[in-house]
Structures are given as C-alpha cells and as structure tokens.
Amino acid sequence: MTDKIESIVGSIKAGFSAGEYKFRGEISLLVKPEQIVEVCQVLKDEHNFQQLTEQTAVDYWPEQKPRFHIVYKLRSLDDNLIIGLRVPLNGNAPTLPTIEGVFKNANWFERELWGMFGIHIEGHSDLRRIVTPYDWEGHPLRKDYPLGYEEVQYSFNFDEIDLRKPYAKE
C-alpha cells in the first residue's frame, strides 16, 4: 500500500514541483493555485482517483502568513488510497480556479468556500452562498469573524434581559 502512494506522490512532486506535508502517516502535497486543476486531472485520469471527498479550507490567521490552506482529499476506491492536496492562499482577495470540470461535486464544496471563507472561485457556474442566508454579510468561518454571542439569561438578570428581548407578536 504505502509504496503505491509513495510512487504517486513522487511522480506528482516531480511533475509539478510540489511540496510535501506529512501528518500522522497521511501525506498531503502543497500545490500552487494555478496548478490545482491540472494536478486533479492527472490524479483522476492516470492514477485512478475517482472521488473528491473533501474540499474545505483552514484559516491560520494570524499565526501563518499564507492565511488560507485549501484542503482537497481525493480517494481511489479501487486501490483504497486517500491523497490530500493543500493550496496555500493569501488573505487579501483570495481566488482559486474551479475544479468543477474535473469533479462535479466540487460545485457545492466551492459554494461553501465562497460563503464561509470568502474565497472567490473563478469559472464557477453558480457562485452563491449555500449555508448562510443568501444576503448574509461577512464570511463566518474566518477567524476574525465575531462569534455572535448573546448574553445568557440567568435568574438574577432575567427581568432586564426579558425587557430587551424581541418577542414575537401575533
């Protein structure tokens, strides 16, 4: 098993000069955003990775400098392999080409990336918000988005909060 994935990783690294990112026995390849469509196409056609199971992002603000890492996980069902791809992306006006042409289910994943992180996807057929209401402002999963707390209503401050709470009328 492991030598199969090693050979695939090796060929991608050689072909696209990608970096490597290891975590607890799983290998991820660091890819540039311009190369991602080609890498996915190569993995799907030549190495038989038929399924895109994950396409999400991680926000490392303010610790690391490329603020977003877009994480893709491709799965090969015949060979029982999972390979990860990571695309580091900057914070101001992040854009990414779409891989909708390679994997159709990237459509909703990329809509979630747009709505939750503000990563604009070029070439997407229908880029709208998917999880939040359509006219929501802000991108909730970024680290600098406020949590949206409400003051908790205990028994000692029950009456004060009761006066302020917007109860529904008939």
Partner 1 sequence: MGIEQKVGDMGVVTTSLEHVVNWSRTRAMWPMLFGLACCAIEMMSAQAANYDMSRFGMELMRASPRQSDLMIVAGRVSKKMAPVLRRLYDQMPAPKWVISMGDCASCGGIFNNYAIVPGVDEVVPVDVYIAGCPPRPESLIHGVVTLYEKVYGEKITDWA
Residues that bind partner 1 (CB under 8 A): 132-133, 140, 145-150, 152-153, 165-170
Nearer to partner 1, 37 or 130 (CB): 130
Least distance to partner 1, CB of residue 126, Å: 18
Taking the complex as a whole, the smallest distance from the CB of residue 118 to partner 1 amounts, in Å, to 15
Min CB(63)–partner 1 separation in Å: 23
CB atoms within 10 A of CB 91: 16
At 132, give phi and psi (nearest 5°). Answer: -85, 165
Angle at the Cα of 20 from the Cα atoms of 14 and 21, rounded to 5 degrees: 165
Q: What minimum distance in Å lies between the beta carbon of 166 and partner 1?
A: 5
Q: In this complex, which beta carbon is closest to partner 1, that of residue 72 or of residue 117?
A: 117
**In 34-132, which ranges are E strands?**
51-59, 68-76, 81-89, 95-97, 120-122
Are the C-beta atoms of residues 84 and 36 closer than 8 Å to each other?
no
Residues whose CB falls within 8 Å of the CB of residue 85, separated by 6 or more in sequence, listed in order: 28, 29, 31, 36, 39, 40, 71, 72, 73, 74
Q: Are 95 and 119 contacting, i.e. CB atoms less than 8 angstroms apart?
A: yes
Tokens 């080609």 belong to residue: 38
Nearer to partner 1 by Cβ, of 11 and 56: the residue is: 56
Closest distance of CB 168 from partner 1, Å: 5
How long is the chain?
A: 170
Query: Which of residues 22 and 165 has its CB atom nearest to partner 1 in the complex?
Result: 165
With respect to partner 1, which residue has the nearer C-beta, 56 or 132?
132
